[in-house]
Amino acid sequence: MTTTMMTALVAQGGKSLNDEDAFVAESRPVPTLRPRDILVRVEAFSINPADTKSRAGIPAGNSKILGWDASGTVHAIGPEVQGFSVGEEVWYAGDVTRDGTNAEFHAVDERIVGHKPKSLSHAEAAAMPLTTITAWEILFDRFRLRNDAQGTLVVLGGAGGVGSIMTQLAKELTGVRVIATASRGPSRAWAVRMGADSTIDHHDLAGSVRAVAPDGVEWIFSSHSRGNVAAFAKALKPFGEIAAIDEPSGLDLLPLKDKSIAWHWELMFTRSKYATPDMGEQGALLEKVAVLVDAGHIQSTLTERFDGFTAESIRRAHLTVDGGAAIGKTVVARRTP
What is each CA distance from 26 to 5, 102, 270, 307, 317, in whole angstroms? 10, 11, 30, 18, 19
CATH number, domain of 79, equals 3.90.180.10
Does the structure show a pLDDT above 80 at 76? yes
Q: What integer pLDDT is reported at residue 325 of this predicted model?
A: 81
Distance in angstroms between the alpha carbons of the first and the last residue of the chain: 27
pLDDT in tens, 308-337: 999 999 999 999 999 888 899 999 999 755
The pLDDT tens digits of the residues spanning 279-316 come to 999 999 999 999 999 999 999 999 999 999 999 999 99
Do both 261 and 146 map to the same domain?
Answer: yes
Which of 230, 265, 300 finishes a domain?
Answer: 265
On whether both 150 and 190 belong to a single domain, the answer is: yes
Q: Do residues 205 and 147 both lie within one domain?
A: yes
> With 70 as the cut, is the pLDDT of residue 1 above it?
no
Same domain for 201 and 150:
yes
- pLDDT tens-digit series, residues 86-116: 999 999 999 999 999 999 999 999 999 999 9
| Domain limit, last residue, from 214, 231, 265 | 265
Domain co-membership, 115 together with 71: yes
Would the pLDDT of 12 be above 90? yes
Range of the domain at 163: 131-265
Which CATH number belongs to the domain containing residue 216 in this structure? 3.40.50.720
Residues 9 and 113 reside in one and the same domain: yes
In the chain, DSSP assigns E strands to: 5-12, 23-29, 37-47, 63-64, 70-77, 89-92, 105-109, 113-115, 152-155, 177-181, 198-200, 217-222, 236-244, 262-265, 302-307, 329-333
- Asked if residue 20 has pLDDT above 70, the reply is yes
Average pLDDT, the chain: 96
3-state secondary structure of 256: helix
| 121, 9: one domain | yes
CB-CB contact of 196 with 178 (8 Å): yes
187 within 8 A of 327, measured Cβ to Cβ: yes
| Number of separate domains in the chain | 2
CA 208 to chain centre: 26
Both 174 and 241 in one domain: the answer is yes
CA atoms within 13 A on the CB side of 299: 11
Burial class of 241 by CB neighbour count within 10 A (0 to 12, 13 to 18, 19+): buried
Q: Nearest-5° angle of CA 3, CA 5, CA 9?
A: 130
Residues 205 and 223 in one domain: yes
Position 143: which residue type?
F
161-216 pLDDT tens trace: 999 999 999 999 999 999 999 989 999 999 999 999 999 998 899 999 999 999 99
For residues 179 and 70, state if they share a domain.
Answer: no
The span from the CA of 139 to the CA of 173, in Å, is 10
Same domain, yes or no, for 67 and 104? yes
Count of helix runs (H) and strand runs (E) in the chain: 10, 16
Last residue of a domain, which of 206, 234, 265? 265
The fraction of the chain above a pLDDT of 90, given in percent, is: 96
Instruction: Indicate if 98 and 184 belong to the same structural domain.
Output: no
